[in-house]
Structure 1
């Protein structure tokens, strides 16, 4: 199999049940992936995971759904072990897991910080660790972060702050895994037109974000559409393998480094 092709490859997608993760799963299956492992967090997203799995199977790939709260190292290790047992070692590992909290510093409790840190930071760290141990040579690893890593903004300290370490993890993993031909990248979308966004933002903030990107007037919603992000991820896990150690902001000019 070509290192540049998705054809015949095995993909593991953490948070692959819905929204961007679900669309990535469908896209990889449509592009010829042999098998797609769709991780979901809890019973609340099981039905969506199963719907995504059905779409993957319809596209001609084997689909496996695996549940797990990835905020412990043991759970991430189990996800990879179960995936390998079900479909073999992955060639592509993508982590879309994340949690948003919009609050002033003064209002964030220790419990809220700990949860944000576990979901956005700890889970990403151990996902990369397990990917380094289980992904095949010449594989591809990608983590979803946020375009707020390029922003100067209030109220997102716990969100952007717990995503920020993934930039360094990505660079370190790219250096450590590179000898095996594995590329490691991070992708930071702008505010996306998904429930993930609308659950945090009031009407005024929504209006601002829908007008803040340079290309907002050309977008159907003004926000980043998941359909516009997927081709970049597809490229990074196929022909774009030479890009590694990078955090790429995909946001229509919402922020830049």
Structure 2
């Protein structure tokens, strides 16, 4: 665990898995700007996680980095305990950690399917389970799906199947938390300019994807972080049990 600008105190507290890069990192920064103390969860890149914490601290926020494999229930439970011991509790959980593998169904290595299942399905379940146990009233769990679930793009079969499971889990948990004053929603981004998305794509491929949206661009991590911040805020608390397809109307 690495800490910067972090001390116990009152106020809202957020855990962001996958918080060292991309949409997770931008969401952590955005929530910190709204006054949340933030636990930046990361899988392995400590330097990136430390960078996210320092960025938040430099802007006057409070943050700490905690390493946790999201599919490991003991590591995730320890991350929630760290949030409680350092900041007093948990109000928002943003589960942005995920894995992607692209292949035609006929060609996919089943070991890759198992790895996808472990991170995207088991990992989401483990994080959601801890969120269900520990989120305070007025809190929010925000999971991540993908707009590809609806677009049915070839080579995304395994990834889309894993995210379809995330959507189903999200809808059910929203109803199971009746009486807790906790919301559960999924954000389903379209093409977004993260390192994970851009890897292996040339300029022409990105331009073709950008042209599919009436807004004629791909999304940015900041675009998605704004949706996360709304769902995490009191202003978004009437939105519950939904999949928000933040994709610029890509079809």
Contact 2:13 2:83 in 1 (8 A): no
Over the residues paired in the alignment, what is the CA RMSD in angstroms?
A: 1.6
Provide the secondary structure at the position in 2 that maps to 1:82: helix
**Cα deviation digits, residues 54-76 of structure 1 (max 9, x gap):** 12222333211100221233332
Normalising by structure 1, report the TM-score: 0.89
Aligned pair 1:37/2:33, yes or no?
Answer: no
**Cα deviation digits, residues 166-189 of structure 1 (max 9, x gap):** 111111111111311000000011
Q: For the residues of structure 2 that align with 1:86 and 1:54, how far apart are their CA atoms? A: 17
Written as runs of structure 1 = structure 2, the 5 A alignment for 1:79-118 is 79-118=79-118
What residue is the counterpart of 1:206 in the other structure? 206
Provide the secondary structure at the position in 2 that maps to 1:143: strand
Aligned pair 1:223/2:221, yes or no?
Answer: no
Higher mean displacement: 206-215 or 61-70: 206-215
Q: For the residues of structure 2 that align with 1:174 and 1:200, how far apart are their CA atoms? A: 36
Normalising by structure 2, report the TM-score: 0.91
Which ranges in structure 1 are unaligned for 5 or more consecutive residues?
1-6, 217-221
Q: For the residues of structure 2 that align with 1:204 and 1:157, how far apart are their CA atoms? A: 23
Provide the secondary structure at the position in 2 that maps to 1:61: coil
Cα distance, 1:203 vs structure 2: 5.7
What residue is the counterpart of 1:233 in the other structure? 228
The count of residues paired between Structure 1 and Structure 2 equals 241
Classify 1:106/1:205 alpha carbon distance in 2 versus 1 (closer, same or farther; 3 Å).
farther
Higher mean displacement: 74-83 or 124-133: 74-83
What residue is the counterpart of 2:26 in the other structure? 23
Written as runs of structure 1 = structure 2, the 5 A alignment for 1:168-183 is 168-183=168-183
Classify 1:16/1:235 alpha carbon distance in 2 versus 1 (closer, same or farther; 3 Å).
same
Provide the secondary structure at the position in 2 that maps to 1:17: coil
Residue in structure 2 matching 1:244, options 234, 240, 245: 240
Which ranges in structure 2 are unaligned for 5 or more consecutive residues?
1-9
